[in-house]
Amino acid sequence: MEIRSLRHFVAVADTLNFRVAGERLHLTQPALTRSIAALELELGVLLFNRDTRGVALTAHGAQLLQRARGVLADADEFTYAAHALRAAAASQVRVGLYGNGLAELTHPVLSAFCERYPDAAVQVRDADFARGIEPLIAGEYDVAFLRVPVDLPVLRTFRLFSEPMDIHVWDGHWLAGAASAEIREIFDDPWVTLPPSIPTAWSASWLFSEQRGGVAPNIGAFARTEGEFGAAVAYRRLSGVLPTSVHRLRPHTGVAVVRAAKATYSHVAVSYPASGFSPAAAAMAEVAVEVAARDLHLVPEAERPPSR
């Protein structure tokens, strides 16, 4: 049995939709269907009932699902331990940069770390939103610069600052040119947002689910990068919400930016796994906190996080 077969099983169980699960796994639906069928044949157990009404876990599938999650968690821990050993031996520090990371503080933090630890080889990698925080948990990154609408217990997170949010619409939208607007004014628009593979609580935050009164958003596209986000707004005429530093640092032609009213904020942080982490990750977080305390003036409109 291969680990990837269990990942396929869990993805289908989480979505109960072969097409959606295939998109998350970057597999075609027929390939995923064959993988599940092969796993069922190997196990001698039917995992899913499939009919015209949809897909549902069988009783056996439901019993095996938690065991599959445990095996995958153990496999991820094993992979992380191996990556951490390799990184430590090579004096590497792998930084996952989600979007624009720490905005104007990204370079000062990385530069200060290099000055303090000149023997460390810093590798900065642009994160793919479609993979969520999986690379961080699996040990592909030692530490990440990201946005944290909510805290997750699997991560040790240090909030550095908060910044306002902007509404992004195409330049022919009726809101284009407005100084500010409430986010609910674009609730009826088709939205571009981050892929569903990010943590559920994060996805709900980016979509402002609590403010929608139980009405599901009309999602027109998922963006794996900020560039894809801007292109979806400009050329597919979708709407969405991003931190104000995105347009300031990486403006996209055809996108109109409107300040979100009612003090809506994005929280910027440095994070690393809560257990089994590389010592370099903790060192990077320490440097980031120090630089943010000293140089926060470099980020326009940034606000310090509340004292813990």
240 and 116 housed in the same domain: no
238 and 276 housed in the same domain: no
Residue with tokens 């439901």: 62
292 and 151 housed in the same domain: yes
pLDDT at residue 87 in the model: 52
pLDDT at residue 128 in the model: 87
Q: Can you read off the two tokens belonging to residue 228? A: 């894809």
101 and 249 housed in the same domain: no
Domain assignment of residue 85, yes or no: no
Domain assignment of residue 293, yes or no: yes
pLDDT at residue 196 in the model: 80
Domain assignment of residue 195, yes or no: yes
151 and 270 housed in the same domain: yes
60 and 191 housed in the same domain: no
261 and 271 housed in the same domain: no
Domain assignment of residue 81, yes or no: no
205 and 254 housed in the same domain: yes
Residue ranges in the chain modelled with pLDDT below 50: none
Domain assignment of residue 304, yes or no: no
pTM exceeds cut of 0.85 = no
**Total structural domains in the chain?**
3
DSSP 150: S
Q: Which amino acid is at 57?
A: L
237: domain range? 161-265
259 and 270 housed in the same domain: no
Strand partners, 122: 93
119 close to 89: Cβ distance less than 8 angstroms:
no
Domain assignment of residue 174, yes or no: yes
Q: Please give the C-alpha separations between residue 250 and each of 113, 177, 187, 301, in angstroms, as whole numbers.
A: 25, 19, 25, 17
CATH number at residue 55: 1.10.10.10
CA distance 121 to 87: 9
Domain assignment of residue 83, yes or no: no
CA distance 207 to 231: 18
CATH number at residue 230: 3.40.190.10
Domain assignment of residue 136, yes or no: yes
154 and 274 housed in the same domain: yes
104 and 171 housed in the same domain: no
191 and 68 housed in the same domain: no
